[in-house]
Amino acid sequence: MDWYMILKAFIVGGALCIIAQILIDKTKLTPARILVAYVTIGAILGGLGWYKHLVDFAGCGATVPLTGFGNLLAKGAVSEVQSSGLVGAFTGGIKAASGGIAAAIFFGYIASLISKPKIKKQ
Amino acid sequence: MKKVGNQSYMLENPVNIAATASIVGPKEKGGPLHQFFDQCLEDEFWGEKSWESAESKIVKETVNMAISKSGIAARDFDFCFAGDLLNQCIASSFGLRETNIPFIGLFGACSTFVESMLVASSFIDGGFATNCVCAASSHFCSAEKQFRFPLELGNQRPQSSQWTVTGSGSAILTKDGTGPFITSFTPGKIVDMGIKDANNMGAAMAGAAEDTLIRHFKDTGRNPSYYDAIFTGDLGHIGKDILIDLASSKGYNIKSNYNDCGVLIFDKDKQDTHSGGSGCGCIATVFSGYIYKMLQEKQYKKVLLMATGALMNSTSSQQGESIPGIAHAISIEL
Amino acid sequence: MKPIQSKEEYQAYVDDKTPNSPILKNCFNAFLVGGLICSIGQIIFEICKTRGVDESTSYTIVSMILVFCSAFLTSLNIFNKIGKFAGAGSLIPITGFANSIVSPAMEYKSEGYVMGVGAKMFTVAGPVLVYGISTSILVGIIYIIFNTQSLILV
CATH at residue B268? 3.40.47.40
What single-letter amino acid sits at B190? I
Residues B186, B153 share a domain: no
CA distance A16 to chain B (A): 17
User: Best of A116, A119, A121 to disrupt the B interface by mutation (most B CBs within 10 Å)?
Assistant: A119
User: Model pTM greater than 0.90?
Assistant: yes
**Which residues form the domain of A110?**
3-114
The 10s digit of each residue's pLDDT in C80-127 is 999 999 999 999 999 999 999 999 999 999 999 999 999 999 999 999
Contact B150 A28 (CB under 8 A): no
SS3 labels along A72-83: HHHHHHHHHHHH
**Which residues form the domain of B122?**
2-174
Count A/C contacts: CB-CB distance under 8 Å. Answer: 301
- Asked if the C-beta of A117 comes within 8 angstroms of chain B's C-beta atoms, the answer is yes
> What pLDDT is stored for residue C148 in this prediction?
60
Domain boundary among B153, B174, B195: B174
Nearest Cα residue to B134 out of B22, B40, B247, B227: B22
Sequence-ordered alpha helix ranges (H) in B250-290:
261-265, 268-271, 280-286
* Pairwise CA distance, residues B93 & B89, whole Å: 6
Whether B292 and B169 have beta carbons less than 8 Å apart is answered as no
Residue A119: inside a domain, yes or no?
A: no
Q: Residue B1, class by beta-carbon neighbours within 10 Å (0-12 exposed, 13-18 middle, 19+ buried)? A: middle
* Pairwise CA distance, residues C74 & A112, whole Å: 10
- Asked if the C-beta of C85 comes within 8 angstroms of chain A's C-beta atoms, the answer is no
Residue A28: inside a domain, yes or no?
A: yes
Task: Locate the domains of chain C by residue range.
Answer: 22-123, 126-154
Cα C74 to Cα C28, C92, C153: the distances in Å are 23, 16, 45
3-class DSSP state of B242: helix
Whether A42 and A51 have beta carbons less than 8 Å apart is answered as yes
* Pairwise CA distance, residues A38 & B182, whole Å: 56
Element (H, E) at C7: helix C7-17
C140 chain-A contacts, CB cut-off 8 A: 74, 77-78, 80-81, 86, 88-90, 92-93
CB-CB: which of C7, C100, C107 is closest to B151?
C107
B152 chain-C contacts, CB cut-off 8 A: 74, 77, 79-80, 99, 102-103, 106-107
Domain count, chain B: 2
3-class DSSP state of B285: helix
10-residue averages of pLDDT along chain B (334 residues): 94 96 96 96 92 96 97 96 96 95 96 97 96 97 93 91 96 94 97 93 96 96 95 96 95 95 94 94 97 96 96 92 97 95
> What pLDDT is stored for residue C151 in this prediction?
45
Enumerate neighbours of C (3 or more CB pairs within 8 A).
A, B
The interface predicted TM-score (ipTM) is 0.93
Query: Could you tell me which chain A residue has the CA closest to the CA of C78?
Result: A120
Whether B43 and B36 have beta carbons less than 8 Å apart is answered as no
* Contacting C residues, span 22-51, partner chain A, CB-CB under 8 Å: 23, 26-27, 30-39, 41-47, 50
Average pLDDT, chain A: 92
